[in-house]
Amino acid sequence: MTLPADSHVHSEWSWDTGGPHSPAAGRMRATCEQAVRIGLPAVYFTEHLDVPGTWRAEPQDLMPHQQSMLDEAGRVEFAPLDAVGYLTAVDRLRHEFPELRIHTGVELGQPHLRQERVAQIIDLGVVDRVLGSLHTLDLGGGPAEPGTLCREHDPADVMTAYLDQVPAVVRGSDAFQVFAHIDYAVRLWPVATAGPFDPRAFEDGFRAALRSIADGGRALEMNTRRLWPWIPQWWAQSGGQAVTFGSDAHTPDGLAAHFPEATAMLEHFGFRPGRTPEEFWTRTRAL
Ligand SMILES: [Zn+2]
Ligand SMILES: [Zn+2]
């Protein structure tokens, strides 16, 4: 079976890798080489599009190469996406890899906020795909990632607040076509102190969030870092019609991770491929 496009991939052009002048340089080319090697027909480089200095973190929230991004006030600072450099790099690789379909994109963090600042960084109309992501939220102490917030609040309250924010993200922006990793806060769930994550404790919140994404006419990303069967099940039952597959790879070896299992899982819930690897998979029967 042909693999669907990997619709969520990062390279050295994403700030969290360290940027194009860091040891991550060359990752975009290596990722294209990997795609050809594994027979992946198409890839979307969806680089992080975040406004620098707009959330706080602590050293333990950041990877070793990101420690210097923390300013004295505890805010995460970095150079904004170099749109020209990024688009030029994609164009060059399209010529180098004619057998691979390379698409442009961004992963827009908190798309409902600071839209004027974002527009100064890149014209969203020029990229092929915009993912909408909720990475940070403000529970009163200033915006922070769920991992930070889970040390300051009851993790259950953080999870509930995260899901409650999703409808506002959808309502507040029509710039993105796909809502990415709705399980983002689950990734950062503190298993050591809170025990294994049980989605049933947050089912109402997930279903309401999924309904808002479906009602907003967006697709849902199946983020393949973790394969949770309850996500496509609840998505289909909430009226969700379309999905994409995204590995969220930051290194070439993560490209299309778990795609064989993810596509089998989505078929089980009634989703079928489009005519091309780039098309959304859509649901053909009621669940
Ligand atoms: Zn993300
Ligand atoms: Zn990502």
Report residue 145: phi and psi, to 5°. Answer: -75, 155
The per-residue pLDDT for 2 is 86
Domain with residue 41: its CATH number is 3.20.20.140
Residue with tokens 């480089």: 45
Please tell me the distance from the alpha carbon of residue 19 to that of residue 184, in angstroms, as a whole number.
22
Domain membership of residue 138 (yes or no) is: yes
Tell me the pLDDT tens digit for each residue of 67-104: 999 999 999 999 999 999 999 999 999 999 999 999 99
- For all residues of the chain together, what is the average pLDDT? 96
Give the chain's domain count. 1
Domain membership of residue 258 (yes or no) is: yes
Structure tokens at 5: 């496009």
Report residue 260: phi and psi, to 5°. Answer: -60, -45
Q: How far is the CA of 33 from the centre of ligand 1 (A)?
A: 23
Please tell me the distance from the alpha carbon of residue 47 to that of residue 14, in angstroms, as a whole number.
5
Number of neighbours of residue 186 by Cβ within 10 angstroms: 18
287 has a pLDDT exceeding 70: no
Banded pLDDT at 265 (limits 50, 70, 90): very high
Average pLDDT of the residues in 45-71: 95
Q: How far is the CA of 270 from the centre of ligand 1 (A)?
A: 26
The per-residue pLDDT for 285 is 63
Instruction: Tell me what percent of the residues of the chain surpass a pLDDT of 90.
Output: 98
Please tell me the distance from the alpha carbon of residue 197 to that of residue 190, in angstroms, as a whole number.
9
Q: How far is the CA of 274 from the centre of ligand 1 (A)?
A: 25
Distances (CA, A) of 149 to 57, 153, 183: 9, 6, 16
**Which residues, listed in sequence order, are joined to residue 7 by a DSSP beta bridge?**
none
The per-residue pLDDT for 281 is 98
Domain membership of residue 1 (yes or no) is: no
Q: How far is the CA of 49 from the centre of ligand 1 (A)?
A: 10
Structure tokens at 253: 């070896």
Domain membership of residue 69 (yes or no) is: yes
Tell me the pLDDT tens digit for each residue of 242-260: 999 999 999 999 999 999 9
Q: How far is the CA of 274 from the centre of ligand 2 (A)?
A: 23
Structural domain of residue 72, as residue ranges? 6-283
**Which residues, listed in sequence order, are joined to residue 166 by a DSSP beta bridge?**
none
Instruction: Tell whether the torsion through CA atoms of 54, 56, 61 and 62 is positive or negative.
Output: positive
Instruction: State the ligand closest to the CA atom of 106.
Output: 2
Q: How far is the CA of 273 from the centre of ligand 1 (A)?
A: 24
Banded pLDDT at 1 (limits 50, 70, 90): confident
Q: How far is the CA of 93 from the centre of ligand 1 (A)?
A: 24
Tell me the pLDDT tens digit for each residue of 109-122: 999 999 999 999 99
Q: How far is the CA of 63 from the centre of ligand 2 (A)?
A: 15
The per-residue pLDDT for 244 is 98
The per-residue pLDDT for 224 is 97
Banded pLDDT at 286 (limits 50, 70, 90): low
